[in-house]
Each structure stands twice: as structure tokens, then as C-alpha cells.
């Protein structure tokens, strides 16, 4: 099956070069990107701006039924091991409904793929898998043990998503890492959110680390030297009052994606996340040259690379997974416009592989 989308402003390739023309999609893949008008009949996008769909590289959908619950309590009281979150997720029917809400909301906001650090062991993984059977979106499920064997968790999930470096002893961590590696699955963990435990995390050779809020200069150097991939969630960190990561330094020195984190804490809007990151990074660094393209890459194509998913940059033979924003003739820079000015209501079309 072939579909042609024309009269478009296309953020072409991995550097978002502007192509004013058309995209040909056949059997779920981009077969051609060309300038001008296509020779065949096409769907007129009316000079809409086309960019890769968002990748929410770190989210917890299981607490979506308790949005902003406990807003004036500490991070430990809200999402710590005995916090409000873990009371909320005892109600499986509410968890199930909340997950389904989160998946629908992500799709509506232009997210084509996401990674969930799933609590609750195999049972928690199955809740998300059941929701994905009903609401089609590309989900990477990273499970936790919760009394289950590591082998069983890996059988049902795409890898391990560990809560912190304090979760297990080093030998257990090492065994989990080797098991995931042997099964060609992901091993990732939170680190540097409330304390700088980056060095301990790096000893485990994770596929990626989430947060890095408390990473000092030495820890950042270790991350950059080891080329450890990072996922940042600054809006959640700010809401939880634990500080902010060194956004510009991290984006410019290692492969970095972004996520919205707990739905209990933060909205699922990748547009809001990207705007916050762009502006905070400029404020932190006082560098007016800091590029919007770096942020849009982190919000789209970088996440899929970190999660080992098919590339959705707008290039021939890549997966057709993209968003179309309505045209705004007054915008000088379409890349900046997406993260700086557009809202969910500006999305006029979503093409996803699911």
C-alpha cells in the first residue's frame, strides 16, 4: 500500500534539513523524499511541518490514576519505596485504567514510542502488555523482579529497569546485567536523582542511565568518557524539587534522550518537556547559540536509538513514524517552532508504525 504526502515542510534526515516537497510511504516505510510536487496524486498537507514522532524514553504509566497526588510532600514520601505511589498501585483496576489513559494520551500528543520502567514484577508487565494489545503504540517494557525470577521477568519484558543503585547488592546487579546482555535485552537504571551515585551505576555498565540530576563534574566526565547513554527528565526533577541536570553539557557530550517520568508527577507532553529543556539549558549555560535541533533530536530520534528501535528519522527506507504540525507562516525556524511555539492542538496528522 502506497501513500503520498505533498506540499510539506519536511525536517529531513538526522540534522533536520528543510525539504519543501513530499514523502512517499509504502508498506510502513519511507520510500522517497523529494522536492517540489510529486508526479502522482497526493494528500495535501498545506505546508504542514513534518518531523519524526516523539520518543518518551522514560515514563512510569502505572501511577497515572493519581496525577499530582501528594504534590506538597517530599520525593521520598511520594515515590520512595514506601511512598504514596506504591499505595496507589496496589489497586490493580485503577492501575489498568490509568495505563490505558496514559497510552491514549501519549498517542494523541504525537509520541510514537516509549519506555516504561514497570513496577510490580511480571504482574505489572502483564498489565501494560494487556493495555498495549488494545491501544497500539510502540512500548518498551523494562521490568523489575518483585519476587519473580530474573529469567521470568525477561521472558515477558524487553529488559530490566532498576529503581536505584541501592536496589540490590553488586553481585545481584552483575548477574542481572549479564543475563540481560546474553538475552540481547536492555539493562537500565535510575541514578543521580537524589544523590550522586553515578560511579556505582557506571560499574554496572548500563545501556542507559536516567536522571543525572546530582551528577558532579567528575561524574559527568566518567559518563562522557565511557559514552554511557543518558535519559533526562528535568520537568519531573523540578517538580520534585531535587534540582536539574546539566542539560547542555549532557546533550552535547553523550547520546541523550528525554522522558516525562511518572505520570503521577508530570504530564505526558513531550512538547512541554522539549520546551522546558531548551529554555532551562539556555538559562543554565547562558549560551544563546544552544541549538533547538539538539533538543528535538533528544525528543525524537535519539530515544529510539537508545531503546534499540527502528530509526524514524525522515530518510528513505526508515520506518514511517512521524507527526505533521499545521503551518504557521510567521515562523522563521520550523525546528525551533515545534518545541518553542506549537501545542498538542497544532498536530494535524500522526503516522505511526503501529
**Which three cell numbers mark 202?**
557506571
SS3 of residue 211 by DSSP: strand
Write down the pLDDT at residue 180: 97
The answer to whether residues 116 and 182 belong to one domain is yes
Shared domain for 197 and 220, answered yes or no, is yes
pLDDT below 70 — which residues of the chain? 353-354
Q: What is the pLDDT of residue 89?
A: 87
Task: Report which of 245, 194, 177, 180 is spatially closest to residue 81, judged by C-alpha positions.
Answer: 194
What is the per-residue pLDDT for 354? 57
Here the cell at position 9 is 515542510
Rg (CA), the chain: 20
111 and 66 within one domain = yes
Tell me the three cell numbers of residue 49.
Answer: 511541518
pTM for this prediction: 0.96
pLDDT at 28: 94
In this structure, are 45 and 59 located in the same domain? no
Cα–Cα dist 56/99, whole Å: 15
Q: What does the DSSP assignment read for 54-88?
A: EEEEEEEGGGGGGTTTTTTS-HHHHHSTTSHHHHH
277 and 128 in one domain? yes
CATH of residue 222's domain is: 3.20.20.140
Q: What are 59's three cell numbers?
A: 515514563
In 3D space, the residue among 202, 267, 223 whose CA is nearest the CA of residue 59 turns out to be 267
Q: What is the pLDDT of residue 216?
A: 96
Same domain, 215 and 334: no
Total structural domains in the chain?
A: 2
Calpha distance 97→94 (Å, rounded): 5
Quick one: what percent of the chain has pLDDT higher than 90?
95
Instruction: Say if residues 117 and 140 touch (Cβ distance below 8 Å).
Output: no
Which residues, 6 or more positions from 246, have their beta carbon under 8 angstroms from its beta carbon? 212, 215, 220, 284
- Domain range enclosing 273: 54-306
What does the alpha-carbon distance between residue 239 and residue 52 come to, in Å, rounded to a whole number? 28
Residue at which a domain ends, from 270, 289, 306:
306
Residues 70 and 9 placed together within one structural domain of the fold: no
If asked whether residues 91 and 205 sit together in one domain, one would say yes
Please tell me whether residues 121 and 166 are part of one structural domain.
yes
Any idea what the CATH number is for the domain that residue 332 is in? 2.30.40.10
- The DSSP result for 310-342, as a single string, is PP-SBSTTSB--EEEEPP-TT-S-HHHHHHHT-
- Statement to judge: residues 207 and 294 lie in one domain: yes
Query: CA 214, CA 197: separation in Å to the nearest integer?
Result: 8
Predicted local confidence at residue 42, as pLDDT: 96
Do residues 234 and 207 touch, judged by C-beta distance below 8 A?
A: no
Query: Sign of the C-alpha dihedral, residues 293, 299, 304, 306?
Result: positive
Q: Do 190 and 83 share a structural domain?
A: yes
Question: What does DSSP assign to residue 343?
Answer: -
Say if residue 73 is in the same domain as residue 7.
Answer: no
Amino acid at each position: 500500500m502506497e501513500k503520498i504526502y505533498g506540499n510539506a515542510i519536511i525536517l529531513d534526515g538526522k540534522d533536520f534539513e528543510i525539504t519543501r516537497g513530499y514523502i512517499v510511504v509504502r508498506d510502513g516505510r519511507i520510500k522517497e523524499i523529494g522536492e517540489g510536487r510529486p508526479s502522482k496524486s497526493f494528500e495535501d498537507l498545506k505546508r504542514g511541518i513534518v518531523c519524526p514522532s516523539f520518543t518518551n524514553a522514560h515514563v512510569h504509566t502505572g501511577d497515572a490514576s493519581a496525577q499530582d497526588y501528594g504534590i506538597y510532600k517530599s520525593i521520598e514520601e511520594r515515590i520512595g519505596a514506601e511512598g504514596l505511589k506504591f499505595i496507589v498501585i496496589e489497586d490493580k483496576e485503577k492501575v489498568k485504567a490509568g495505563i490505558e489513559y496514559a497510552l491514549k494520551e501519549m498517542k494523541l500528543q504525537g509520541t510514537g514510542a516509549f519506555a516504561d520502567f514497570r513496577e510490580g514484577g511480571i504482574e505489572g508487565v502483564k498489565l501494560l502488555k494487556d493495555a498495549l494489545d488494545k491501544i497500539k503504540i510502540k512500548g518498551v517494557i523494562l521490568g523489575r523482579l518483585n519476587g519473580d525470577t530474573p529469567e521470568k521477568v525477561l521472558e515477558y519484558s524487553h529488559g530490566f529497569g532498576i529503581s536505584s543503585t541501592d536496589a540490590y547488592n553488586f553481585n545481584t546487579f552483575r548477574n542481572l546485567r549479564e543475563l540481560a546482555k546474553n538475552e540481547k535485552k536492555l539493562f537500565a537504571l535510575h541514578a543521580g536523582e537524589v544523590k550522586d551515585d553515578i560511579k556505582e551505576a557506571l560499574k554496572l555498565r548500563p545501556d542507559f542511565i536516567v536522571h543525572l540530576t546530582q551528577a558532579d563534574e567528575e561524574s559527568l566526565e566518567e559518563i562522557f568518557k565511557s559514552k554511557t547513554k543518558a535519559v533526562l527528565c528535568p520537568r519531573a526533577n523540578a517538580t520534585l524539587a531535587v534540582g536539574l541536570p546539566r542539560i547542555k553539557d549532557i546533550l552535547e557530550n553523550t547520546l541523550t534522550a528525554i522522558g516525562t517520568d511518572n505520570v503521577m508527577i508530570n504530564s505526558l507532553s513531550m512538547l512541554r518537556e522539549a520546551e522546558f529543556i531548551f529554555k532551562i539549558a539556555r538559562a543554565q549555560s547562558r549560551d544563546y547559540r544552544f541549538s533547538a535541533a539538539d533538543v528535538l533530536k533528544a525528543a525524537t530520534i535519539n530515544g529510539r536509538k537508545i531503546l534499540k528501535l527502528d530509526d524514524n528519522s525522515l530518510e528513505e527506507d526508515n520506518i514511517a513514524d512521524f507527526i505533521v504540525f499545521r503551518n504557521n507562516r510567521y515562523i522563521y525556524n520550523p525546528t525551533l517552532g515545534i518545541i518553542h511555539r506549537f501545542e498538542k492542538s497544532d498536530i494535524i496528522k500522526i503516522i505511526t508504525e503501529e
